[in-house]
Amino acid sequence: MITPVTERQNAPRKLPGKRPALAANPAAEGQARKQAPAATATHFRESAPLLKDELESVRREHVKLQQAIYEAAQIQRRLCAPRELVSGEFEIAGEIFPVRHLSGDFFKVMKLDSVLGITVGDIAGKGLSAGIWQAHLMDLIQRSARTNLPPADVVTRVNRELCRDQNEPPIAALFFARLDPESGELVYCSAGLPPPLLLRRDRSVERLEKGGPMLGALKEAKYEAGSVCLDPGDLLLAYSDGLTECRNPLDEEFEMERLTAAAKAIGGATANQVLFSTLGAVLDFADTCSPSDDLTLLVVRRREAMAPERPSAGNKEISRPRRGQSFDVRSRQAASEAKKGSAS
């Protein structure tokens, strides 16, 4: 049945989305709108002290966490000691530039009876997880190295231990070598690390490529060793891939050729001088670009036969170079010689 027009006109209208009480009483709706800001302001005044206390608590926890991470980073640096060492005719110097407080890179120089154990490693990843794995991996390496096994067997054993003990072992690159300070023989094995460079006195370059795959990938991986002899005046550079893959503002990588040129440019200098001159060249190349990966470099130099012997520096912390810092070693040597001459 069709409703008469008069009845449709007199029927009360329903406002969609509005409550009937408010629709029938516009004055009540306006009063509620006026009271809402006042209620919100009152709630804020009551909550502000609580929020302030919570923010202060978060700030204190953040400070404690930063302090704990800083202390862990200092322990990492001590685990990588000695950072500078002299043994017979050999000088060794190393340094790490972590992207974050904790580094996945590491190096270690160990005295193993009559030889030196030399290790450079790079754990995949950065930050806390890589830093925690670093201590575990270094312990495996040191325990295996002290068994006096050949380098290839040491790396094989470390890989098996790493794969067996953990459900998801970290992927890591490693260079391990035994250096005989008397004969100069270096027996090495490289597991996925960029091939170390051997810069001969005659300026020729050799790459130490013998080894096998990265650690933690294959439990039954096979590794082989290589052997070279470091003659007087030779220089060995072992490094992580963060060094050669460091980029500049033009998105160019530092690469192995620039690394070789930087080391050759300061030929005849000490291992420590070569170390920081080369690192300075990398940071100057990066310019305003921050490195995206940890930078690690270890330098081994055999002094020339006629060079005067220097006393061992033992465990020595070395200040890091700043970007733009000059590394004019020849000028320093000339100034030192001039000073000695005037004193005599």
- Beta partners for 207? 197
Q: What is the pLDDT of residues 181-200, one digit of tens each?
A: 999 999 999 999 999 999 99
Task: Give the predicted TM-score (pTM) of the model.
Answer: 0.72
Residue 335 has pLDDT above 50, yes or no: no
Distance, CA of 216 to CA of 339 (rounded, Å): 54
Compute the average pLDDT of residues 106-130: 89
User: What percentage of the chain has pLDDT greater than the value 90?
Assistant: 51
Q: What is the pLDDT of residues 269-328, one digit of tens each?
A: 999 999 999 999 999 999 999 888 899 999 999 998 654 445 444 444 333 444 433 333
Q: Which residues, including other chains, have CB under 8 Å from residue 199's CB and lie 6 or more apart? A: 205, 234, 235, 236, 237, 260, 263, 264, 267
Compute the average pLDDT of residues 79-93: 89
Residue 266: pLDDT band (50, 70, 90) is: confident
| Alpha helix positions (H), 287-343 | 329-343
Only one residue has tokens 């000059």, namely 326
Distance, CA of 115 to CA of 235 (rounded, Å): 18
Q: What is the pLDDT of residues 200-217, one digit of tens each?
A: 999 999 999 999 999 998
Highest mean pLDDT among 8-12, 75-79, 250-254: 250-254
Report which of 191, 186, 73 is spatially closest to residue 121, judged by C-alpha positions: 191
Q: Which amino acid appears at position 42 of this protein?
A: T
Q: Which amino acid appears at position 109 of this protein?
A: V
Average pLDDT, the chain: 80
Instruction: Give the residue, 343 or 155, on which the prediction is more confident.
Output: 155
Domains, the chain, with CATH or none: 83-307+319-329 (3.60.40.10)
